[in-house]
Amino acid sequence: MITLMLTNTVPVARPAARRAPRLRRLLAGAAGMALALTGALPLAAAPAPAAAAPQVVHAKAKFAPASYAVTGPIGKRYRKLGGANGRLGAPIGPQRCHKPTGVCSQRFKRGAIIHDRDAIKKVVHAFGKPQRAAYLAVARAYVGYREPRVRGSKWNEWIGNDRAWCGFFNAWVSRASLNGNRYPKADHYTKQIAVMRQRGTMLKKPQRGAFMFIDRVGNGKPAHGGLIVRVKKNGDVVTIDGNAPHPKSNTRKGRRYVVQRSQDTSQAVMYWRPPGW
- The number of folded domains in the chain is 1
Q: How far apart are CA 181 and CA 277, in angstroms?
A: 12
pTM > 0.85: yes or no: no
Domain assignment present for 42: no
* Structure confidence at residue 246 (pLDDT): 87
Give pLDDT, residue 254: 84
Q: How many residues does the chain have?
A: 277
Residue 83 lies in a domain: yes
**Closest among 108, 274, 97 to 178, alpha carbons compared:** 97
At 171-229, the pLDDT tens digits run: 999 999 999 999 999 999 999 999 999 999 999 999 999 999 999 888 999 999 999 99
In a domain, 25, yes or no: no
Measured distance CA(120)–CA(169) in Å, rounded: 15
- Greatest alpha-carbon pair distance for the chain in Å reads 171
Tell me, yes or no, whether 98 lies in a domain: yes
Domain range for 76 is 67-141
pLDDT of 129 > 70? The answer is yes
Whether 106 is in a domain gets the answer yes
> Distance (Å, rounded) from C-alpha 224 to C-alpha 198?
19
Does residue 124 belong to any structural domain of this protein?
Answer: yes
Q: What is the pLDDT of residue 45?
A: 47
For residue 37, pLDDT beyond 90? no
Q: Hey, what amino acid is at 1? A: M
Judge whether 21 lies within some domain. Answer: no
5 is a domain residue: no
Q: What amino acid occupies position 152?
A: G
171 touches 189 (CB < 8 A): no
CB 77 within 8 Å of CB 113: yes
- Mean pLDDT, the chain, rounded, equals 84
pLDDT at residue number 202: 97
